[in-house]
Amino acid sequence: MKSEGPSKRLESTNLILGIGLACAAFMFAGVPAAAWNSGIVGSLIAICSAIELYRYGVWAEWSNLALGSWVVVAPFLLSFGSAPAAMWTHVLIGLCVATIAIIPLMASRRMQEPSRPRPTAAE
């Protein structure tokens, strides 16, 4: 039986990363901006990934890409880059979420491209 969308393992990984980021909010209690950001954005990543596991939709990949990108830049825009644990947690989880979201997007784009004949040596 063929799966509807890309690998469920990738989306399961994003679900775990989102839950981990949301739980990290308790660890960042001393840095309120980091705590609020990780709690809210981690929950959104987990929700999008759970919906994606239930029913594939390219919108969930795009939203995880946007959320992951936000998580990477948030420490610098919300001024908690000076808290190393909060900053590195956000940057690493954000990079992982964004990268995992890009993989199925690129795969679906390749599948939609019309096949072009390869040029021969004479051309």
pLDDT tens profile 10-35 = 888 999 999 999 999 999 989 999 99
Domain enclosing residue 60, as ranges: 8-111
Examine residue 97 and state whether it is found in any structural domain, yes or no: yes
Closest CA to 28 of 77, 67, 81, 72: 81
**C-alpha triplet 84, 85, 88: angle, nearest 5°:** 75
Examine residue 26 and state whether it is found in any structural domain, yes or no: yes
pLDDT tens profile 44-59 = 999 999 988 887 777 8
Write the single-letter amino acid at 22.
A
**Total structural domains in the chain?**
1
Give the SS3 label for residue 62: helix
Examine residue 52 and state whether it is found in any structural domain, yes or no: yes
Write the single-letter amino acid at 65.
L
Examine residue 118 and state whether it is found in any structural domain, yes or no: no
Note the pTM of the prediction, 2 decimals.
0.81
Examine residue 2 and state whether it is found in any structural domain, yes or no: no
